[in-house]
Chains A and B, each alone.
Chain A
Amino acid sequence: MIKFENVSKEYNNNVRALTNVSLDIRKGEFVFLVGSSGAGKSTIIKLLLKEEEPTEGKIILNDMDITKVRNRRIPYIRRNIGVVFQDFRLLPNKTVYENVAFAMEIIGVHPKEIRRNVPMVLSMVDLSRKASSFPDQLSGGERQRVSIARAIVNSPPVLIADEPTGNLDPETAWEIMRALSEINGRGTTVLMATHAKDIVNHMKKRVIEINEGKIVRDEQKGGYGDGISSI
């Protein structure tokens, strides 16, 4: 599903963010990406979203080599990936319902289908009652659940979460993890970059640890690991 083949990334200012990274995530897996700040987690996510281009190597997503995709096609790549960010990134001028519907509208889904699917995912993340609220009327946890609903409404094969619990209190963080697990249970591949030690240790999922741009550990049912700052 997600495959990195000897990927290196050097930024313009000669900073080497990734060195010779290879990894293979299969369909339906739940994978934690851990490592100190600046280790290279964000770069991996940026490469998957085609926000950055790798300096060397191949990235295969959903059986397609996305390193060879032209700029005009990037939006279509991104439609295969649901993304959840630490800072939620909701459209402030749109209601909860519209934020989720927006992801369907841009790909030209029939309005009937939108009217059917949006309430469905909203009930999945337990937000049916907040459908007509605006993001600034919601709590952090609710906002994150909106962004999860938006990420999965088009049933993408892959869900990427970049520190989705970073801005939330522990209890709310577990709410989010339950939602992500449920989505994973329905067959969606989940890749989650995180600093949340407790969550990683409790979930017992595959853990990939990066340090200074290299993969230093790739362990099934792993823990958070020692020596990683949790900030």
Chain B
Amino acid sequence: MGFRVFKNILKQGFQGMWRNRSMGLASIGSISAVLMILGVVIILVLSINNVAMEIKTKFDEIQVFLKDDLTAEDIDKIQETIEEDDRVLSVVFQSKGQGLEIMKKDWEEDSYLLEGLEEDNPLQDSYIIQLKDIKDADDVVKKLDTIEGIEYINYYKDIIDKLLVFANYIRFGGIVVIGILVLVSVFIISNTIKITVTSRKREVNIMKYVGATNGYIRGPFIIEGILFGLIGSVLSIFIINYGYDYFFKSVSDKLYVLFTVWLVPPTLLMKDITIMFSAIGVGIGALGSIVSLKRFLNV
């Protein structure tokens, strides 16, 4: 196909978009509506995921309490042994004194009950261990258990397990919902384009009688579809961007700051959403045109 023919097709595509703008409005509307719903779902899923991750990092540590009668050397040796394991991310020593301070902070106004304990601290020295991957927790704990000098090990296995399951459900559910939405949007858009094409079936027929090749007929329709998809996605990107930004700001202004920690900040999201939506819009537009044109080309 020569450059001149390609230029013609491009021109026809733009011209067709402009002259069929009322039909195009329907396509653009449905594309941006579906993408907007998709955007809300994505934000929701990411936020819930965010919350899960946030909670996970808080409980994502193993605390090993040491026997009381260890020498400084023994304590160092235990740290070395723990650090040898390459599944361990970091090991932080927490003396019994530090432990008491933390406890006092946690207890807040009831902390006076703990006064006087400094003299004869009943707490134990401990190591707080962070793992690279929380999945290894069970194995690491089993191994830690064999180390001489460790009295007992504390980690929030149940909470983490439940959280992991919950996070997985959310992620899986999110992917399913997004998948369904993409399918629905392809369906809606190919239908809209089918209506557009059906109303132009005559046009396609005429082109065929004049001797236009299938490629030549398809070209402008595909360009039209891509343009409609692109406009629809740009529209939804703007609405999602400004809408979510407004929502995020008003939530952090008027409600609890705590709540915004759970929401994904808009700036982090928009680049991905822009790329994703443009790609989906263009893809759906082109695909919709190709699918709905197929059966009209056999004259």
List chain A positions with a Cβ less than 8 A from chain B. Answer: 49, 51, 72, 75-79, 83, 85, 89-93, 102-103, 105-108, 110-111, 150
For residue B212, CB closer than 8 A to chain A, the reply is: yes
For residue B77, CB closer than 8 A to chain A, the reply is: no
Residue of A nearest to B4 (CB): A108
Flag if B4 contacts A75 (CB, 8 Å): no
A-B contact count (CB 8 A): 56
Flag if B16 contacts A93 (CB, 8 Å): yes
Kindly state the separation between the CA atoms of A101 and B216 in the bound complex, as whole angstroms: 15
- With contacts A75-B212, A93-B19 taken as known, whether A108 is within 8 angstroms of B5 at the C-beta atoms is yes
Kindly state the separation between the CA atoms of A76 and B212 in the bound complex, as whole angstroms: 8
Flag if B209 contacts A91 (CB, 8 Å): no
For residue B118, CB closer than 8 A to chain A, the reply is: no
Flag if A110 contacts B4 (CB, 8 Å): yes
What 5 A-B pairs have minimum CB-CB distances, sorted nearest first?
Answer: A79-B211, A78-B211, A106-B212, A93-B19, A75-B213
Flag if B210 contacts A78 (CB, 8 Å): yes
For residue B154, CB closer than 8 A to chain A, the reply is: no
For residue B205, CB closer than 8 A to chain A, the reply is: yes
Flag if B20 contacts A93 (CB, 8 Å): yes
Q: Main SS of the interface on chain B?
A: helix
For residue B90, CB closer than 8 A to chain A, the reply is: no
Nearest Cβ on chain B to A169's Cβ, whole angstroms = 24
Flag if B209 contacts A78 (CB, 8 Å): yes
- With contacts A51-B299, A75-B213, A89-B202 taken as known, whether A106 is within 8 angstroms of B19 at the C-beta atoms is no
Residue of B nearest to A108 (CB): B5
For residue B8, CB closer than 8 A to chain A, the reply is: yes
For residue B116, CB closer than 8 A to chain A, the reply is: no
> Could you pull out 18 A-B pairs where Cβ atoms are within 8 angstroms?
A75-B213, A78-B208, A90-B206, A91-B203, A92-B203, A93-B15, A93-B16, A93-B19, A93-B20, A93-B203, A103-B210, A106-B5, A106-B210, A106-B212, A106-B213, A106-B216, A108-B5, A110-B4
A103 partner, pick from B15, B19, B211, B213, beta carbons under 8 A: B211
